[in-house]
Amino acid sequence: MHNNAKRRGLSFLLILAMLFVSVAVMLPVATSADPVEFADFGVQKLAALNLAGDEDTDLRFVFTVGSLDYTEVGFVFSKTNAAPTVGGDACYKMPVTVVHTQIVADGNTLTADPGRYWVAVKMTDIPHSYFDGALYVRPFVTDGLGTRYADAALTSVCDAAGHVHTIDEFEHERTGGTAALDVAGTIVGNCPGCNLEVTFNDVKAGVEYQKWIGGGGQARMYDRRQISDILAGGKHFYPDASNGGLGNDLVVEYSILWNETLLNLSADYNDGARLLTTFDTTNGGFSGEYRAIAYASLTNNVKDSGANFAGAFEYPSGLIQTSEPGDPHPGMTAGGGAYSDYANVGGTDRDHPEWGWHRIGVIYHEDVTNLNAVKGGAAATYKLTVSIYIDGVLVSILSGDHLDRGNADYKLFTATCDGNGGVTYEDIDEDIWVFAFLVHYVTAPTADAWFADGDVFVTAGHDFVHPVTRIANPAARTETVGGQDFNGAFYYTSAGAHDHVWGSLVNDASHAADCGHAATQSIHCTICGAVKPDSTVNLPIDPSLHNWGVTPVRIQEPTLLEDGIDRYTCTVCSATDDRAVSYEHSVQIFTTSTSGAYSPNGATVGSIRGSKHFYDEGNDLMVEFSILWNESLTHLRDDNSDNYKPYMDSRFATNAAGTSGNNNIVYWSLTGNIKGSDCKFPGGFEWGGIAGDPGDNPYPRFAGAYNDITAYPNLGGYNNGDGTAQVNDLYGWHRVSIRYHEEVTNVAAVKSGSAASYLNEMWVYIDGDLVLHTAETKAISKQLFTATGGGGSITYTENDSYYFHGAFLNSTRMKTGTGYFEIADYSATIGSDFVQNVRRVNNPTPTTLEVENGVFIPSTMWYELDN
């Protein structure tokens, strides 16, 4: 039964998208005939449910019982009681006495498990307004023992639909809440998915932005409301009992991220770099009969505008009738000179703009100035007043008797005589749009510009939804808008009245004082960011505090003998700091199963020679590297088969890997007794690569080099293959230097048309001592260059595309044990000098290198620089 119920519940979930966990409650009722009284408890929405559009809907509720031995089964519901019971407070019982082996639920046919029966009811006509309302639901069974319940579940139509509320953080139509841009709180607004008003807690208001592309244009930015929305809930602008006879003002408030990119906007008045609070008959802004009540300039020196600098507010020229339009407009009644001398959002000091978040408030107030006369039948006269706030500070009051221009007169209300000694008021047409702000068509900014706003409200009342207090010296803050970072300091707080809570001393700017910047530190209020009086500490430029970049430039590579140099550069003052960087070992480990391969710095002949020529006298191929000779290498496989090649070589090849068309110029053995090789002891060098003439052993041209092991301190110093120990057991670092020379020996003949003959000559040095010198007039198959001629001239063709690998190890592996192998300080250059001019050290201080945990190999330096 238990297993059946489980499986049943699962399939049911799949079919009906059940939201409740299917429960199989084993109640401690030993006498019940039903060991699993509740199972398959679920709710089902209508498949066709449209959360946003349906006026009402139904929900089905089901569970199964495993017996018919009940007098009644069913559900109890409550909107408010979290644990509904039969007869409980605010509970509704929906009983059934007929249960079913099979049900058809919104088109799905569901068969109960054998021995179980569906208890099925349908709640109808749940209104849209309650789609997110709580429904506590509880299955019950009643028999002679009494009534028992499954655990109550909480659902709603939204839940049953699997709907998660969202709110567009840029949704300016949100209805309220306390969340602001600067203070987390609640946001109340309409969820677009269900059209219900929902509340989100602990969130901040969102930022909306518009980016104008430099050189482009014709994009607008606005936030608009219709009068019908502003007056929703039976409000009126005109005085009546609903507002205590005081009437209501039109209250507009929004935040703007004032930033330097706005100065990229065109200064031409007609290019729209103005920020307007305006009315319009259409939602297009400026497309119907528009009338602005406040202007602010977004950029400097707006042409034809009284707003001469960024952030300045201007009397909306021509909109409030005055007799003396001028500049500055005399219609500004407060403070005289208000427009040019107040804290504009761009900054009171125009050389030091206060980039960051500022809050603009506009209150549009209306009075009837001749009310008694109106009662007597006279036409009303009006006084319209616009009060403009920045960061909570009243910066401008504009007033006049009516909005001018055109046929639209956007008074908040009108007053006429009612014919009985009273007044009839009428609100502004509810279809009119109010643009909290509108940036008209902006054209051709000189560079990209961002406009960011947030926290917008347009209401009917007397107070701002988010009244704010100015902060003179706010904490530094970065706002990222559209991928761009801006100074996002809040020059206001909406935290409301509070006792400041002082934090610790912090940097005011994003950086502390350093080699290029003085700085200040101060103590800020942790609630609103205000600076504690007298807390500011001035930090002068400190030449010792540099900002070193994280990525140094490698000035000199480290070698086994000398540290390298990494140069760090101060990002502020460009001072440099050279730091030693030591050589990093990279030891390869071979095993009996792991082949090792090594091919460092394979480079083309062309890249090695650069602009020089190998056919010029004195320019040879100079190859050099260091090898960590150690006893473990003598345990490499010593059979020179295709699979195991325990020798290294210097070779030309036609591919970067060094494996195709290769032609060796010298071999050297890593182990002893290489089968088929003349390198009979580790470290022995053998001329390689001569085409043909392989027969002599030893090669006569070796001049005794290879078999006189006492005369030539080879790298291995191990044995000569017959068990005789070599005298030079010189494990440690050795320096191999190879000079490879090529020349045409019959230049005159070539110039007369003969084929060229070549001399290849090679010198091999170990630790600065010459150990092998060969010369061969028979060409190897890969050459640095070839020569052709005739008619008195000779032409050299350099084989620039050949790759040269000076220290090439093909696949090899250990015959026994583990091998350690490292090549260091490799270079292949053109010229006549080695990069490292070294000399032998006869009695070096023994050193070791740890290559694995606890495994040390001798790393004694057998050479030193010979400078």
Partner 1 sequence: MEKKIYESAEIKIVLLNRDMLITSGGSLGENEWDEFNFNQLG
Answer for which of 50, 71, 218, 795 binds partner 1 (CB under 8 A) is: 71
Q: Which partner, Zn ion, partner 1, none, binds residue 194 by CB below 5 to 8 Å per kind?
A: Zn ion
In the window 440-499, what residues touch partner 1 (CB under 8 A)? Answer: none
Query: By CB under 8 A, is residue 107 in contact with partner 1?
Result: yes
Which residue's entry shows tokens 């997110």? 132
Answer for which of 575, 587, 759, 779 binds Zn ion (CB under 5 A) is: 575
Cβ–Cβ under 8 Å, residues 197 and 189: yes
Which of residues 56 and 577 has its CB atom nearest to partner 1 in the complex? 56
CA distances from 466 to 179, 181, 249, 360 (A): 9, 10, 16, 11
Cβ–Cβ under 8 Å, residues 518 and 503: no
Answer for which of 72, 171, 367, 798 binds partner 1 (CB under 8 A) is: 72
Reply yes or no: is the peptide bond before residue 698 cis, omega within 30 of 0.
Answer: yes
The token pair at 150 is 């499954």
Query: By CB under 8 A, is residue 55 in contact with partner 1?
Result: no
The token pair at 816 is 């026994």
Write down the least CB distance from residue 113 to partner 1, Å.
13
Answer for which of 90, 553, 691, 775 binds partner 1 (CB under 8 A) is: 90
Which of residues 122 and 204 has its CB atom nearest to partner 1 in the complex? 122
Answer for which of 13, 394, 527, 597 binds Zn ion (CB under 5 A) is: 527
Query: By CB under 8 A, is residue 30 in contact with partner 1?
Result: yes
Which of residues 515 and 779 has its CB atom nearest to Zn ion in the complex? 515
Q: Which partner, partner 1, Zn ion, none, binds residue 165 by CB below 5 to 8 Å per kind?
A: Zn ion
Furthest-apart CA atoms within the chain: distance in Å = 138
**Binding range to partner 1, per CB under 8 A, among 116-124, 489-497, 528-536, 630-638:** 116-124
Answer for which of 528, 653, 784, 851 binds Zn ion (CB under 5 A) is: 528
The token pair at 588 is 């390869």
**Binding range to Zn ion, per CB under 5 A, among 95-103, 148-156, 159-167, 320-328:** 159-167
Q: Which partner, partner 1, Zn ion, none, binds residue 107 by CB below 5 to 8 Å per kind?
A: partner 1
Which of residues 108 and 129 has its CB atom nearest to Zn ion in the complex? 129
Annotate each residue in 708-727 with x if it binds Zn ion (CB under 5 A) or - if it does not, as one string. --------------------
DSSP string, 370-423: THHHHHTTPPP-EEEEEEEEETTEEEEEEEES-B-SSS----SEEEEE-SSSSE
Answer for which of 22, 78, 619, 632 binds partner 1 (CB under 8 A) is: 78
Encode 481-494: b = buried (16+ Cβ within 10 Å), e = exposed: beeeebbbbbbbbb
Alpha carbon of residue 825 to chain centroid? 40
Q: How far apart are CA 227 and CA 689, in angstroms?
A: 95
Annotate each residue in 117-156 with x if it binds Zn ion (CB under 5 A) or - if it does not, as one string. ----------------------------------------
Query: By CB under 8 A, is residue 696 in contact with partner 1?
Result: no
Query: By CB under 8 A, is residue 848 in contact with partner 1?
Result: no
In this structure, what are the phi and psi dihedrals at residue 414, rounded to the nearest 5 degrees?
-120, 155
**Binding range to partner 1, per CB under 8 A, among 100-108, 260-268, 437-445, 552-560:** 100-108
CA distances from 471 to 7, 134, 468, 476, 795 (A): 64, 43, 9, 12, 82
Let me know how long the chain is. Answer: 867
Answer for which of 116, 225, 359, 546 binds Zn ion (CB under 5 A) is: 546
Mapped onto helix, strand or coil, the DSSP state of residue 502 is: strand
Encode 449-479: b = buried (16+ Cβ within 10 Å), e = exposed: bbbbbbbbbbbbbeebbbebbbbebbbbeeb
SS3 annotation, 285-348: CCCCCCEEEEEEECCCCCCCCCCCCCCCEECCCCCECCCCCCCCCCCECCCCCHHHCCCCCCCC
Q: Give the count of residues interacting with Zn ion (CB under 5 A).
A: 16
Query: By CB under 8 A, is residue 104 in contact with partner 1?
Result: yes
Provide the edge-to-edge strand list for the sheet that holds 433-443: 217-226, 433-443, 274-280, 291-297, 313-314
Q: Which partner, partner 1, Zn ion, none, binds residue 130 by CB below 5 to 8 Å per kind?
A: partner 1
In the window 325-364, what residues touch partner 1 (CB under 8 A)? Answer: none
Query: By CB under 8 A, is residue 137 in contact with partner 1?
Result: no
Which of residues 50 and 811 has its CB atom nearest to partner 1 in the complex? 50
Query: By CB under 5 A, is residue 188 in contact with Zn ion?
Result: no
Q: Which partner, Zn ion, partner 1, none, binds residue 106 by CB below 5 to 8 Å per kind?
A: partner 1
Query: By CB under 5 A, is residue 363 in contact with Zn ion?
Result: no
688: left (phi over 0), alpha (psi -120 to 50) or beta: beta
Query: By CB under 5 A, is residue 519 in contact with Zn ion?
Result: no
Query: By CB under 8 A, is residue 172 in contact with partner 1?
Result: no
The set of residues, in sequence order, having a beta carbon less than 8 Å from that of 642 and lying 6+ positions away, is none
Query: By CB under 8 A, is residue 129 in contact with partner 1?
Result: no
**Binding range to partner 1, per CB under 8 A, among 69-77, 598-606, 691-699, 728-736:** 69-77
The beta-carbon contacts of 703-710 under 8 Å, at least 24 apart in sequence, are 703/773, 705/771, 705/772, 705/773, 706/678, 706/679, 706/680, 706/772, 707/680, 709/681
Positions that interact with partner 1 (CB under 8 A): 30-33, 56, 58, 60, 65, 68-73, 77-79, 90, 92, 94, 96-107, 117-118, 120-127, 130, 135, 143-145
